[in-house]
């Protein structure tokens, strides 16, 4: 490996300190670039804008939480660069390497002794009056949800142009297997092994209790049409970017050609991470 990009969680002092340690250890042998804000803090010359992260890099190191990882994945735009996520946040399903494990893990990665998990992304767009007004690729989920003061909303859903149902609910979640342990899980959705390629559709507090989560094949295009008038409804992607929806807007969701490669921990597997993060078996 010759070039590394490091992205730190914003205003996270321990992430910036850790980035400085990595630069001291590997800066003489490799070309290291740091996100702009962290580079200014460390007075480090080699800067990379988040919009250009991964370009020409052999490795991306994310120092933070899952939110930082989700942002990096969106800006990566399908570039085939492995990502090492170091958890300095909360649960850390995506940034699964601990700070204590990082030195040994990074040494293995630099020497080529690592395995990756390829994760699908979803392409999400909004069609309004026949024209595309919003488009993003997401790693976790796309959520249609009502304002806190809005009434229950109607969302008409189609799979490959075939009518599925009209959900009367507080909202609707389209999730990747990677995002299955996020908002979808809290709304009663299933956990999918992250390397699978399905799409999960999970209603939020549906009026009909028979409206259960459904798992859809990867090769379909889904469309959700907002059928409620005079309600404040928002499309949120990866819990970070919001877009206000209007009556009869069409939200189109399909598997993206872009994927993300996350470096697996050498210390524990996915099921151990599930037990640890979700505290299974504890009383």
- CA nearest to 63, candidates 21, 24, 29, 27: 21
| Angle, CA of 92, 97 and 98, to the nearest 5° | 85
Question: Which among 29, 35, 58, 66 is annotated as catalytic?
Answer: 66
Helix (H) or strand (E) holding 261: strand 250-263
Length of the chain: 283
Is 66 a catalytic site residue?
yes
267 in helix, strand or coil? coil
Classify each residue of 4-37 as buried b or exposed e, where b means 16 or more C-beta atoms within 10 Å of its C-beta: bbbbbbeebeebbebbbebbeebeeebebbbbee
| Angle, CA of 135, 225 and 198, to the nearest 5° | 65
Backbone phi and psi for residue 26, each to the nearest 5 degrees, phi listed first? -120, 0
Q: Who contacts 86 (Cβ-Cβ below 8 Å, separation ≥6)?
A: 18, 61, 62, 63, 64, 95, 97, 98, 99, 102
User: Rounded to an integer, what distance in angstroms lies between the CA atom of residue 230 and that of residue 178?
Assistant: 34
User: Rounded to an integer, what distance in angstroms lies between the CA atom of residue 208 and that of residue 222?
Assistant: 21
Count of CB atoms within 10 A of residue 69's CB? 30
- CA nearest to 140, candidates 178, 172, 196, 91: 178
Beta bridge partners of 214: 201
- What positions carry a catalytic annotation? 66
């Amino acid at each position: 490996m010759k070039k590394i990009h490091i992205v730190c969680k914003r205003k996270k002092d321990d992430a910036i300190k850790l980035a400085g340690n990595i630069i001291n250890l590997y800066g003489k042998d490799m070309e290291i670039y740091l996100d702009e804000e962290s580079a200014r803090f460390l007075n480090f010359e080699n800067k990379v804008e988040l919009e250009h992260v991964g370009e020409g890099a052999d490795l991306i190191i994310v120092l933070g939480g899952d939110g930082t990882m989700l942002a990096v994945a969106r800006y990566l735009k399908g570039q085939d660069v492995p990502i090492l996520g170091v958890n300095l946040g909360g649960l850390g399903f995506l940034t699964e390497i601990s700070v204590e494990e990082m030195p040994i893990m990074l040494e293995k990665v630099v020497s080529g002794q690592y395995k990756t998990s390829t994760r699908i992304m979803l392409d999400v767009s909004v069609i309004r009056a026949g024209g595309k007004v919003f488009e993003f690729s997401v790693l976790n989920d796309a959520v249609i949800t009502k304002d806190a003061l809005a009434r229950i909303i109607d969302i008409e859903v189609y799979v490959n142009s075939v009518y599925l149902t009209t959900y009367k609910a507080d909202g609707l979640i389209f999730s990747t297997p990677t995002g299955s342990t996020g908002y979808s899980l809290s709304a009663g959705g299933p956990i999918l092994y992250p390397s699978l390629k399905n799409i999960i559709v999970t209603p939020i507090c549906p009026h009909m209790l028979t409206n259960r989560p459904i798992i859809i094949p990867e090769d379909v295009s889904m469309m959700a049409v907002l059928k409620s008038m005079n309600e404040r409804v928002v499309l949120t992607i990866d819990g970070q970017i919001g877009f206000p929806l209007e009556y009869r807007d069409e939200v189109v969701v399909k598997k993206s050609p872009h994927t993300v490669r996350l470096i697996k921990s050498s210390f524990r597997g996915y099921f151990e991470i599930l037990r640890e993060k979700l505290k299974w078996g504890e009383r």
